[in-house]
C-alpha cells in the first residue's frame, strides 16, 4: 500500500459505512463475522463509527444496529441521528416540490414512493415496486397521498426505463436522480447527500474531512468519497466510484472491510495460524512417497499461493520422482527437491527463480515444509522439512522477540527453527503422527560428506489431492 495512504490513515478519527454490498450482501443478507470484530476494534482504539446509507433508520437491519455505531447518516444524508436517538440534522423536501414531483410522475406514467422519518410508502402495490423495495424495507403500504400529511425526506421513481429516464428541467435546481436499482432511482434534494450528513457529524465532533474514512460501493457514495479524507471502494463497486476511490478492497464475502483496515494499520490483523489448527484447514494435500515411508502434508495456498502452485506443478509433472533427499541434519531438517542431487540445481515451474512469500500466519515449527534458497527471492524446486524437536528458548523469550503467543508456545513445546522465519517460505505442514515417525526415521539415517546420506533416501513420487 502507498505510504502516503497509510500516513493519511493516521489522521482518521471516524469511519462511516454504507450497508448494501458494503457491510452486507444485499442479495443474500450475508454479514461476515469479521464485521463485528471491525466495529469492536475501532471502538477500542477510540475511532468513531457510523452508518452512511440511502436507507432510512427503520430500514437498517437489526444485525447492523447491533453493531452499535455512534451515528446513523440515513436517507442519503437527509436525516442524521446519534445512537442515543439525538437528532443531529434534518432536511425534508418542501411540500410544494413534493407535489410537483408527484404531478410529474403521473404525467409520464410512472409510479413513485416516499421516505418519511419514521416510515416509507409507495404509490401502488405491484410486482415492479416489490422487486426493488422488498429486499430493503419489506412490503410497503400503498399510500399515494402520504405527502399531504407527512414530511418527505426522499422520493423514489419506479419504472423500467432505467437511465434513459429524463428529469424535467424545472426540477434541476432543486432535485436530482440517483439510480440505485434497475427499476428505481432515489429522488433527493440537489444539495443533500451522504457527504452533507457526514459533514454534520464531523462538525458536531469538531473533526475535519481529513479525519473521515468512508466505505461504499454505489453511485450515491460519490459525494461522500469526494468529501472524506479516505474513500474505500468495495470489490464489486460501480466503476465510477472505483475511479474516485483512494483504495479498492475485496468483496464483502472476502472480508473486504477488515482487509482494508488491516492494510491501513487501523485494526490489528486477525491471524489464523493454520499450522496450529491443522484439522480445520481445507485445501490441497501432498503425499511425499519415500523409500522410508510416506510424508503427508497439508499445503497453504492462501498464505503462499505462488510457492504452493510451484510445488504442485512440479509434483504433477513428475519432476520430483526419483529425486533424493541430498542433505539431512538430525535435529534440524531434511532437504530435497534437487534433481541433480547436489544441492546446486533445480528449477521452478516459472523457469526462473521466484520471490519469497512470507506470511505472518506461517512459521518454521517442527514439521513445517519450507523452500530452500540461496538468499532472498531465489526459490526454485528445493524444499526442506523441519525436524528439530527441541528448542533452547522459552515461549516467553520468543514472545519478547516478536513471535505470536500461539506460535511461541508450539516452538517451546514441539521444537522448530525460528531463526529461519522470514528467511525461508513456509508453505505446508506434516498432517499426521505417522508422518512425524517417518520424518524422524529419515533424519536418523547415517550421513557422510556435506550431510548427504550414505544410502539414498529417495522421493519415489509426490501425489497431490487438490
Average pLDDT, stretch 393-420?
95
Instruction: Please give the CATH architecture assigned to the domain spanning 278-465.
Output: Beta Barrel (2.40)
pLDDT bin (cut points 50, 70, 90) of residue 265 is very high
DSSP-derived secondary structure for 245-296: -SEE---TTTTHHHHHHHHTTSS------TTTTGGG--S-EEEEEEBTEEEE
pTM, full prediction = 0.65
Element (H, E) at 465: strand 458-465
CB burial readout 285-301, b (16+ within 10 A) else e: bbbbbbebeebbbbbbb
Predicted confidence at residue 3, as pLDDT, reads 85
Instruction: Answer for the pair 462, 287: CB distance below 8 angstroms, yes or no.
Output: yes
pLDDT at 166 over 90: no
Taking the C-alpha atoms of residue 265 and residue 258, their distance in angstroms, rounded to an integer, is 10
pLDDT bin (cut points 50, 70, 90) of residue 271 is confident
Predicted confidence at residue 205, as pLDDT, reads 98
Domain 95-189 has CATH 3.40.50.300: no
Name the percent of the chain lying above pLDDT 70: 100
Q: Where in the chain is the domain with CATH 3.40.50.1000?
A: 3-83+193-263
Instruction: Please give the CATH architecture assigned to the domain spanning 3-83+193-263.
Output: 3-Layer(aba) Sandwich (3.40)
Predicted confidence at residue 162, as pLDDT, reads 73
Q: Where in the chain is the domain with CATH 2.40.100.10?
A: 278-465
Rg, the chain, Cα only: 30
Predicted confidence at residue 178, as pLDDT, reads 84
Predicted confidence at residue 163, as pLDDT, reads 73
Predicted confidence at residue 352, as pLDDT, reads 92
Nearest to 47 by CA among 38, 60, 56: 38
Predicted confidence at residue 161, as pLDDT, reads 84
pLDDT at 214 over 80: yes
Instruction: Out of 177-191, 288-302, 314-328, pick the least confident.
Output: 177-191
Name the percent of the chain lying above pLDDT 90: 89
3-class SS of residue 463: strand
- What number of other Cβ atoms are within 10 A of residue 246's Cβ? 19
- Strand locations in 125-273, DSSP E? 154-158, 175-181, 184-189, 212-216, 230-233, 247-248
Task: Count how many Cα atoms sit within 13 Å of the Cα of residue 294 in the half-sphere of its side chain.
Answer: 12
Instruction: Answer for the pair 392, 335: CB distance below 8 angstroms, yes or no.
Output: no
Sheet containing strand 48-52, edge to edge, reads 87-90, 79-82, 71-74, 48-52, 14-17, 212-216, 230-233, 247-248
Burial of residue 85 (CB within 10 Å: 0-12, 13-18, 19+) is: exposed
Residues with Cβ < 8 Å from 301, sequence gap 6 or more? Answer: 283, 284, 308, 309
Can you say whether the dihedral through the CA atoms of 200, 207, 232, 40 is positive or negative? negative
pLDDT at 2 over 90: no
Q: Which residues are catalytic?
A: 18
Q: What is the pLDDT of residues 231-256, one digit of tens each?
A: 999 999 999 999 999 999 999 999 99
Nearest to 309 by CA among 429, 466, 458: 466
Q: Where in the chain is the domain with CATH 3.30.1240.10?
A: 95-189
Amino acid at each position: 500500500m502507498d505510504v502516503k495512504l497509510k500516513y493519511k490513515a493516521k489522521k482518521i478519527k471516524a469511519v462511516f459505512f454504507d450497508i448494501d454490498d458494503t457491510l452486507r450482501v444485499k442479495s443474500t443478507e450475508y454479514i461476515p463475522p469479521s464485521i463485528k470484530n471491525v466495529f469492536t476494534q475501532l471502538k477500542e482504539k477510540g475511532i468513531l463509527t457510523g452508518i452512511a446509507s440511502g436507507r432510512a433508520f427503520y430500514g437498517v437491519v437489526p444485525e447492523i444496529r447491533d453493531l452499535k455505531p455512534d451515528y446513523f447518516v440515513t436517507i442519503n444524508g437527509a436525516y442524521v441521528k446519534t445512537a442515543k436517538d439525538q437528532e443531529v440534522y434534518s432536511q425534508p423536501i418542501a411540500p410544494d416540490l413534493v407535489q410537483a414531483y408527484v404531478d410529474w410522475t403521473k404525467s409520464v406514467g410512472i409510479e413513485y414512493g416516499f421516505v418519511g422519518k419514521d416510515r416509507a410508502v409507495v404509490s401502488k402495490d405491484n410486482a415492479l415496486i416489490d422487486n426493488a423495495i422488498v429486499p430493503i424495507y419489506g412490503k410497503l403500504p400503498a399510500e399515494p397521498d402520504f405527502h399531504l400529511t407527512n414530511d418527505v425526506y426522499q422520493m423514489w421513481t419506479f419504472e423500467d426505463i432505467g437511465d434513459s429516464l429524463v428529469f424535467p428541467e424545472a426540477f434541476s435546481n432543486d432535485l436530482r436522480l440517483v439510480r440505485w436499482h434497475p427499476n428505481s432511482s432515489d429522488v433527493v434534494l440537489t444539495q443533500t447527500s451522504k457527504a452533507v450528513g457526514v459533514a454534520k457529524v464531523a462538525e458536531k465532533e469538531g473533526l475535519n474531512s481529513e479525519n473521515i474514512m468512508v466505505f461504499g460501493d454505489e453511485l450515491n457514495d460519490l459525494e461522500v468519497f469526494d468529501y472524506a479524507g479516505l474513500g474505500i471502494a468495495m470489490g464489486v463497486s460501480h466503476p465510477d466510484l472505483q475511479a474516485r476511490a483512494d483504495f479498492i478492497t475485496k468483496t464483502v464475502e472476502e472480508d473486504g472491510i477488515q482487509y482494508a483496515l488491516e492494510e491501513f494499520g487501523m485494526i490489528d490483523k486477525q491471524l489464523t495460524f493454520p499450522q496450529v489448527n491443522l484439522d480445520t484447514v481445507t485445501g490441497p494435500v501432498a503425499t511425499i512417497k519415500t523409500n522410508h515411508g510416506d510424508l503427508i502434508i497439508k499445503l497453504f495456498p492462501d498464505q503462499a499461493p505462488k510457492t504452493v502452485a510451484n510445488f504442485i506443478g512440479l509434483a504433477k509433472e513428475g519432476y520430483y520422482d526419483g529425486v533424493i533427499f541430498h542433505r539431512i541434519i538430525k535435529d534440524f531438517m531434511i532437504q530435497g527437491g534437487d534433481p541433480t542431487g547436489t544441492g546446486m540445481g533445480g528449477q521452478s515451474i516459472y523457469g526462473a527463480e521466484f520471490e519469497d512469500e512470507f506470511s505472518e500466519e506461517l512459521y518454521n515449527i517442527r514439521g513445517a515444509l519450507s523452500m530452500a534458497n540461496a538468499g532472498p527471492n531465489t526459490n526454485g524446486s528445493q524444499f526442506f522439512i523441519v525436524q528439530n524437536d527441541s528448542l533452547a528458548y522459552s515461549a516467553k523469550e520468543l514472545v519478547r522477540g516478536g513471535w505470536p503467543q500461539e506460535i511461541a508456545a508450539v516452538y517451546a513445546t514441539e521444537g522448530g527453527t525460528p531463526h529461519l522465519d522470514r528467511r525461508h517460505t513456509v508453505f505446508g505442514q506434516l498432517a499426521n503422527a505417522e508422518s512425524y515417525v517417518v520424518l524422524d526415521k529419515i533424519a536418523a539415517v547415517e550421513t557422510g560428506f556435506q550431510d548427504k546420506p550414505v544410502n539414498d533416501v529417495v522421493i519415489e513420487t509426490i501425489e497431490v489431492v487438490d
